[in-house]
Amino acid sequence: MQNLVIADDLVGPTKAGLKRNTIRAGIRDIKTGPLELRSSSGTYPPITVDVVEVSHKLANEVSDREIVANGFRDLADMLAGMKRFYPDFGPSSQVTVITWR
């Protein structure tokens, strides 16, 4: 099964359905279907989600819907928040948006 690691503080919002996608820097080879999300520390049990859409675009092309589904308020909030994981992240960074249900 394909898998991704998520930060521990994102496990709760993901399990609660508040976070319904992940935005990753670069082009990721993720397919629709089952995906196991593993906590970065390994202290939380994996969460299995059903990936329904995978898209590749520039950060400034991520839709408002996708931004909010990820837990950000708007594009500026997303750009600032992504620097937590990707220090050189900016509006022209390539991203993969992985959406699940």
Per residue in 45-74, pLDDT tens? 999 999 999 999 999 999 999 999 999 999
Q: Residue 16's pLDDT is what?
A: 95
**For 52, what's the count of Cα atoms within 13 Å in the CB-facing half-sphere?**
5
Is 0.85 surpassed by the pTM of this model? yes
Are the CB atoms for 58 and 79 separated by under 8 Å?
Answer: no
Q: What is the CATH number for 34?
A: 3.10.400.10
Task: Determine the residue type at 37.
Answer: L
User: Which portions of the chain are predicted below pLDDT 50?
Assistant: none
CA distances from 63 to 9, 33, 78 (A): 24, 22, 11
For residue 45, give its domain range: 2-100
Number of domains the chain contains: 1
Task: Determine the residue type at 56.
Answer: H
Q: Residue 38's pLDDT is what?
A: 98
Q: In what order do the strands lie in the sheet with 94-100?
A: 2-6, 33-39, 47-58, 94-100, 21-25
